[in-house]
A and B are shown apart, each in its own frame.
Chain A
Amino acid sequence: MGKKILMKGNEAIGEAAIRAGCLNYFAYPITPQSEVAEYLSKRMPEVGGVFLQGESEVAVGYMLFGASAAGARVFTTSSSPGVSLMSEAISYIAGAQCPCVFVNIIRGGPGLGGILPSQGDYFQSVKGGGHGDYRMLVMAPASVQEAVEMMMMAFPLAEKYRNPVMILGDGLIGQMMEPVEFPDDLRTEPTDKDAWATNGMETRGSDKRNLVKSLYLDPEMLNNHNLHLKAKYDQMRREEVRYEPFNLDGDYRMLVISYGTMSRVCKTAVENLKAEGLEVGMIRPQTLFPFPEEEIREAAGKESCKSVISIEMSMGQMVEDVERCVRGRRPVTWYGKCGGEVPTPEEIMQVIKERIDG
């Protein structure tokens, strides 16, 4: 670990990618994440990397597809409307099994919406913004430090699964400055891509042609391809679930599920309630896909727990997954706000008190 330095989330994300060995960044600017492009436009040339501004997010998505198909480590950053434009390419990338990293610093929507923090892109990220049967591995940081660590984990995970990985932050994670340490142990060497990448037969000293594609016109072949993809997503469910339990040891009367910036507000509320003598447990999913299903089911089933609440900066998206996990054993409700209105700890405390016994 190096020295702690003060960095803006967006800049730290850019630096983390370089430290993770990613020297290719293609992007199109959009608030609230444009500082990543600003930072890397200066930093990439310093480290011998490539910064390229595409003519649109549609183009950027396919620039990533091309670079990763050729075996390069590559990433982009954008915000909600930009990610919508990239979603077609994300579907092709998942279908063609190319490792790419996408960062979405969410702003309020739908449409152009606003530029303030939001979590309205949960469905888009977790359920597939593009077409077809695919999944992304989605990680949601709650601090600048965690955004750095997730960025550095994202590249080896994308390569392990040959699948797009998304870091899902919100405007606050991008804009806020916090102390950051860049961990040495998350630096990764490029993996061997000779078996599949179109990196040139001469380069890899092979006479075998590699083919990267997502087109399978034969129904049996496409079904088998989908089964293969599903096997990867199932492996993610077994091996990649990450979450942070909070105050789950005692006899909590309610379980809060919250992620990203919103989870920090909830954590403060849970701490304040504990000081008042009210026990509330919390699970913060760090991966949104795969979702900590077993962990939520188990925590919700504790005898003392009377109800579950999903608190999000959206009109109720993650709550559908929480309901799926709890399977009707406890009442599940939602609370949230949109558009950059972030609920305060006092507000969350009030809501929890009102709903504590289901």
Chain B
Amino acid sequence: MQHEVMFAGFGGQGILMIGKILAHAALEEGREVAWIPSYGPEMRGGTAYCLVAISDRPIGSPIIKNPRHLVAMNRPSLEKFAAKVKPGGIILINSSLAPDKSGRPDVDELAVPVTDIAKDLGSVRAANIVALGAFVARSGIVSFESIQAAVKEEFAEKQKLIPLEMEALEKGRQAAAK
């Protein structure tokens, strides 16, 4: 089974980074992965997205119009991409910056105020990691231990941030469980 996850939001929200962390976690679990960024011209503050494909078999087409899951970090990305998600997939909405409804009754919808949660933790920049924690907990796409290890590796050169990022992952997991 191939899973595709689209992460989308504003440039600067760490969208490409959480895609990379998920891909890395899946690679460490021995899965096949591909990380495909959007690299068209965008102005500062414009939309950024990336796609992560995870599979137990070599990944064929890296061109994916309809991902299985979507993590929408702001309103424009929810509006742009919600309709593309395959039925039965997960749509995770950052309800701090977007309406908490995707208008898709055929998906597993999860609204988490990841930006507010990150602010409460003391750094709005950790919002992407909160979202990643929530998405991984809900989807089980990789184990939570794998994602924790991948986050630690991503921040290996910024050791001071690791406790905050671990807390962010955990808050995401708790929010997804509610």
Which residues from 20 to 57 on chain B have a C-beta closer than 8 Å to any C-beta of chain A? Answer: 20, 23-24, 27, 32-37, 39-41
What does DSSP make chain A's interface, helix, strand, loop or mixed?
A: mixed
Tier of interface size on chain A: 20 to 34
Return the chain A residue nearest B41 by Cβ: A115
Given contacts A32-B39, A115-B39, A115-B40, contact A6 B62 (CB under 8 A): no
Bound CA span A4–B28, Å? 9
Most chain A CB inside 10 Å of its own CB: which residue of B27, B35, B60, B65: B60
Q: What is the minimal beta-carbon distance from A350 to any residue of chain B, in angstroms?
A: 14
Given contacts A115-B41, A179-B33, contact A264 B62 (CB under 8 A): yes
The interface of chain B, by Cβ under 8 A from chain A, is 20, 23-24, 27, 32-37, 39-41, 59-63, 65
B60 touches A271 (CB 8 A): yes
B27 touches A6 (CB 8 A): yes
User: Could you list some 29 contacts between A and B, CB below 8 A?
Assistant: A4-B27, A6-B20, A6-B27, A6-B35, A32-B39, A115-B39, A115-B40, A172-B36, A172-B63, A175-B36, A175-B37, A176-B34, A177-B20, A177-B23, A178-B33, A178-B35, A179-B32, A179-B33, A261-B62, A264-B59, A264-B62, A265-B63, A268-B60, A268-B61, A269-B61, A343-B63, A344-B63, A345-B60, A345-B61
Residues of chain B contacted by A115 (CB below 8 angstroms): 39-41
Return the chain B residue nearest A342 by Cβ: B63
Return the chain B residue nearest A5 by Cβ: B27
Q: Is A103 an interface residue (CB 8 A)?
A: no
Given contacts A6-B20, A6-B23, A6-B24, contact A176 B61 (CB under 8 A): no
Bound CA span A171–B37, Å? 11
Return the chain A residue nearest B57 by Cβ: A271
Bound CA span A178–B60, Å? 12
B35 touches A116 (CB 8 A): no
Bound CA span A122–B21, Å? 35
Most chain B CB inside 10 Å of its own CB: which residue of A267, A268, A269: A268
Known: A4-B27, A177-B35, A267-B60. 20 other contacts (CB 8 A): A115-B39, A115-B41, A116-B39, A172-B36, A176-B34, A176-B37, A176-B62, A177-B20, A177-B37, A178-B33, A178-B34, A178-B35, A178-B59, A179-B33, A264-B61, A265-B61, A268-B61, A340-B40, A344-B65, A345-B63
